[in-house]
Amino acid sequence: MRKIAELFGGPKIEVRATSGMLCVDIQQRPQPLAALVTSVGDGYSAWFLHARWLQLPLIVRMIWIWAMVSSVPLLLYLLFGKEEVVEIDANKLTIRKGFHGWERKREYRIADCRELECQNGGKDDRPRLECKVAGKTIRFGDYMPEAAAVEILTALQRTLPDVAQKICAYPGGKEQFLTLRLNR
């Protein structure tokens, strides 16, 4: 999946800094090649099952039905992408993740946030931003290039320097440093 996202240029990112707020729009681009592969796989499975449907045990038929139905949301996601909006102000970090009318909104107090940084992603992981909030790690901006993450962190530092110092701080005395992770 990471290779396909890189093939289509990754997400479209827009950073807007206003007085007292940083807003980042992240639009995941549609992935028509992956959607085509998924559709071909579903079509082949349907053709294969149609010829042998009555010979298959009931449990196998139920599993195949579940797999075919569950591939529809994946296909829609691949065709239309998703959107994220990250808003940071003096009091809270708000992350909205949406998919064509379905939106999930999470709000976190800035006082609870720390260690905002860019994760480049390993072999089985994708690059993104992550932040620790009250003992758990929140992740956003999947497939974000490092240059875009640095731009976001720089805009945060320029727009809201006090918030940047709190949210990018590490426990144990590294409060004055903004972690950009440029050497990875």
Give per-residue pLDDT as tens, 91-137. Answer: 898 989 887 777 889 999 988 888 888 877 666 667 788 888 888 98
CA-to-CA separations, 161 to 38, 119, 169, in angstroms, rounded: 45, 22, 12
> What confidence category does residue 59 fall into, taking pLDDT thresholds of 50, 70 and 90?
very high
> What confidence category does residue 150 fall into, taking pLDDT thresholds of 50, 70 and 90?
confident
CA-to-CA separations, 77 to 14, 72, 82, 144, 145, in angstroms, rounded: 21, 9, 7, 17, 20
> Does the reported pTM lie above 0.75?
no
Q: Does the structure show a pLDDT above 60 at 184? A: no
